[in-house]
């Protein structure tokens, strides 16, 4: 179940919507590389957030068939972390220690459960290390 990197929801949204060309290109590269090398993963939460966004919140929502295709070809190959009581408990511990919101803590907990050393997200503190996991904002220009 181990993977090097965990990919947060925002990268998939940038890839799909392609409203910001630079971010879309970066996200597409990370996602494609993760699928090709099988060295990246996502959790149930990322799948749910992506599906909800592309159906209801996207600038141009996908049809049901397009959404199923994206699920089967992009999300499914990366999906490795299901919901579990231990995952929720770990997320609560992370929330208490680092003061992140619960859903952000759940992402961190899932990345740790997968054995990841890198979490790609723009939602958390770039460069922060949590139990061997480094948070990396792939869109940071610094």
* Three-class DSSP labels, 69-106: HHHHHHHHHHEEECCCHHHHHHHHHHHHHHCCCHHHHH
10-24, 77-91, 125-139: range with lowest mean pLDDT: 10-24
The CATH number for 100's domain is 3.40.50.1010
* Structural domain contains residue 84: yes
Give the pLDDT confidence score for residue 62 in this predicted structure: 83
Give the pLDDT confidence score for residue 77 in this predicted structure: 97
Q: Work out the pLDDT band at 54, boundaries 50, 70, 90.
A: confident
* Mean pLDDT of the 38-61 span: 89
CA 64 to chain centre: 22
Q: Work out the pLDDT band at 100, boundaries 50, 70, 90.
A: very high
* Structural domain contains residue 28: yes
* Structural domain contains residue 142: no
Is 42 in contact with 111 (CB distance < 8 Å)?
Answer: no
Cα-flanking dihedrals φ and ψ of residue 138, to 5°?
-70, -10
Per residue in 2-32, pLDDT (tens digit) is: 799 999 999 999 998 878 999 999 999 999 9
- Cα separation, 14 vs 27, whole angstroms: 6
* Structural domain contains residue 85: yes
- Cα separation, 70 vs 51, whole angstroms: 9
The conformation of residue 37, written as its DSSP 8-state character, comes to: H
80-84, 87-91, 109-113, 138-142: range with lowest mean pLDDT: 138-142
pLDDT exceeds cutoff 70 at 142? no
- Structural domain harbouring 69: 5-136
* Number of domains forming the structure of the chain: 1
CA 43 to chain centre: 7
pTM of the complete model: 0.94
* Structural domain contains residue 141: no
């Amino acid at each position: 179940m181990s993977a090097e990197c965990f990919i947060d929801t925002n990268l998939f949204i940038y890839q799909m919507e392609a409203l910001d060309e630079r971010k879309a290109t970066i996200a597409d590269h990370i996602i494609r590389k993760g699928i090709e090398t099988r060295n990246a993963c996502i959790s149930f939460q990322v799948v749910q957030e992506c599906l909800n966004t592309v159906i209801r919140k996207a600038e141009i929502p996908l049809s049901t068939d397009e959404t199923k295709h994206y699920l089967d070809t992009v999300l499914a190959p990366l999906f490795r972390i299901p919901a579990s009581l231990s995952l929720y408990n770990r997320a609560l511990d992370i929330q208490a220690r680092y003061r992140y919101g619960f859903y952000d803590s759940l992402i961190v907990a899932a990345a740790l459960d997968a054995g990841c050393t890198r979490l790609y997200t723009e939602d958390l503190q770039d460069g922060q290390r949590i139990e061997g996991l480094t948070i990396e904002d792939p869109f940071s220009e610094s």
